[in-house]
Amino acid sequence: MADKTTKDQTSTGLDAAAESAPRKSALSRRDYIKTAAVGAGAVALSMPTIAKAQNKTWKLKLQSNWTGIGIESQDKAAQLFVDRVKKMSGGRIEVTNFNAEVLLGIGETFRGVSSGVADLAVTSSIYHRGIVPVGEYLWAVPFFPVNTLEFYEYIYHFMGIKELWQEAYKPHNVAHLTYMISDEWGAMVSTRQVEKYADFKGMKVRAFGIWADWLVHNGASIVTVPGGEVYTAIQTKILDAAAFGSPDAWAGMKMHEVCKFYLNPSVIPYDIVEVIMNQKTLNEMPPDLQEVMHAAARVMNTELAAMTIATDARGRKKLADGGMQTLMMPDEELKKAEAWCWNQFLSKKGKDPFIDKVIDIYTQARQLHKDYYGPKRLPT
């Protein structure tokens, strides 16, 4: 409402000023010719720069943090993105995808894109929370109800998350192109049977953020290893359990060979990943190619979200066929964990202005989800 009021008042003021101001006389032929000559000279001076940018072939290096490690949806989404950018740009942008850990380790991705080691990356903001603290909560808050694409679309585009994300990254020479809904995160694999959260006591677990805090609260110890190394870490007993990926990821990594149990449901139905780009490189591109990068990234988001439905269904079957047993955490345990995690999130208020904004937005969105999806719930 405040924006509308300001706009109306400004419009009225301009109208009044226009009515009282003397009308300018029509431009004479001599003045027109003089102005046109100056304008033509300016255009002539700028044309070489514009032509150079328009005619340049942009060769971009994309560091994907999850391709090449057995996750079907990630591999396919990255290839579709590379092909689409080339087609949409008429061949003026050529993207080469580099698999996980090739150009940059997952913890190096943000700084590597900032410095230009890679021009682009598919990554997650959780990995650069040490540089941009709000990144942890842009990635996920356990049990926050991001369970449909359209719900997060509303939060992202119409509640201020997109602008907050871009503002937080800009000082680091990193452009946030889009979020991507990956797939479930937090449906854990385990070497031990877990029937309640207290059973994590004494276990060595891979987890991040508030979810890691909750597991520590229940007696676990946290061990940080790259996602692609989880299999070896469990095989060598560095880990007893891990949260990393979806059924598609776990099946692709053949986790059923080293883990007997799959703990459901996921505490994060959709984790939010992202596409980032070197800001300077993006700024140097002509506007139409900048739009190609944004648009192609946005399409990759919807494609990845769609593909995970089928790939995760197949992944669950592969894990079961391989002998992995699915365990369901009881509702009372989930409710207890949800309340603890939400209060832990709210406790971050006052530590960072960007985090404060996310807390306000998520609080409103959580209520919106209840108001909209509650009455629409289908019988189960």
Going by C-alpha positions, the residue among 51, 50, 74 that lies closest to residue 64 is 74
Instruction: Tell whether 103 and 240 lie within a shared domain.
Output: no
Cβ neighbours of residue 147 closer than 8 Å, sequence gap 6 or more: 269, 270
pLDDT of residue 49: 52
> Which residues share a beta bridge with 189?
242, 262
Instruction: End-to-end CA distance of the chain: give it in Å, rounded.
Output: 41
Sheet strands side by side (includes 120-123): 93-98, 58-64, 120-123, 272-278, 174-181
Is 4 a member of any domain? no
Which CATH number fits the domain that encloses residue 246? 3.40.190.170
Phi, psi of 222 (to 5 degrees): -100, 130
Going by C-alpha positions, the residue among 353, 168, 179, 355 that lies closest to residue 279 is 168
Contact 166, 175 (CB under 8 A): yes
| Total count of domains within the chain | 2
Cβ neighbours of residue 128 closer than 8 Å, sequence gap 6 or more: 109, 110, 111, 135
Contact 136, 268 (CB under 8 A): no
Is 33 a member of any domain? no
Burial of 338 (0-12, 13-18, 19+ CB in 10 A): middle
Instruction: Tell whether 158 and 66 lie within a shared domain.
Output: yes
Angle at 99 between CA 89 and CA 128, to 5 degrees: 90
Q: Domain residues for 337?
A: 189-269+323-373
Is 251 a member of any domain? yes
pLDDT of residue 51: 53
DSSP per-residue codes, 69-132 = SS-HHHHHHHHHHHHHHHHHTTTSEEEEEE-TTSSS-GGGHHHHHHHTSSSEEEE-GGGGTTTS
Domain boundary among the residues 311, 334, 362 is at: 311
Instruction: Tell whether 358 and 223 lie within a shared domain.
Output: yes
Going by C-alpha positions, the residue among 181, 174, 153, 151 that lies closest to residue 74 is 181
pLDDT of residue 376: 76
Cβ neighbours of residue 121 closer than 8 Å, sequence gap 6 or more: 62, 63, 64, 65, 104, 109, 110, 112, 113, 275, 276, 277
Going by C-alpha positions, the residue among 160, 324, 340, 203 that lies closest to residue 267 is 340
Instruction: Tell whether 230 and 328 lie within a shared domain.
Output: yes
pLDDT of residue 284: 98
Is 86 a member of any domain? yes
Instruction: Tell whether 213 and 346 lie within a shared domain.
Output: yes
Is 134 a member of any domain? yes
Instruction: Tell whether 362 and 328 lie within a shared domain.
Output: yes
Going by C-alpha positions, the residue among 56, 60, 58, 55 that lies closest to residue 95 is 60
Is 26 a member of any domain? no
pLDDT of residue 380: 55
pLDDT of residue 36: 45
E strand spans, the chain: 58-64, 93-98, 120-123, 174-181, 189-190, 204-206, 221-222, 241-242, 261-264, 272-278, 325-328
Name residue 249's amino acid.
A
The SS3 call for residue 18 is helix
Instruction: Tell whether 89 and 230 lie within a shared domain.
Output: no
Instruction: Tell whether 88 and 203 lie within a shared domain.
Output: no
Instruction: Tell whether 206 and 346 lie within a shared domain.
Output: yes
Is 31 a member of any domain? no
Task: Report how far residue 357's alpha carbon sits from residue 243's, in angstroms, rounded to the nearest whole number.
Answer: 27
Cβ neighbours of residue 29 closer than 8 Å, sequence gap 6 or more: none
Instruction: Tell whether 147 and 159 lie within a shared domain.
Output: yes
- pLDDT values of the chain reduced to their tens digit, one per residue, 380 residues: 444 333 343 333 333 333 334 444 343 434 534 544 445 444 444 545 555 556 799 999 999 999 998 889 999 999 999 999 999 999 999 999 999 999 999 999 999 999 999 999 999 999 999 999 999 999 999 999 998 999 999 999 999 999 999 999 999 999 999 999 988 887 899 999 999 999 999 999 999 899 999 999 999 999 999 888 999 999 999 999 999 888 988 998 899 999 999 999 999 988 899 999 999 999 999 999 999 999 999 999 999 999 999 999 999 999 999 999 999 999 999 999 999 999 999 999 999 999 999 999 999 999 999 999 888 776 65
Instruction: Tell whether 112 and 153 lie within a shared domain.
Output: yes
Task: Report how far residue 359's alpha carbon sits from residue 43's, in angstroms, rounded to the nearest whole number.
Answer: 48
Is 37 a member of any domain? no
Instruction: Tell whether 72 and 217 lie within a shared domain.
Output: no
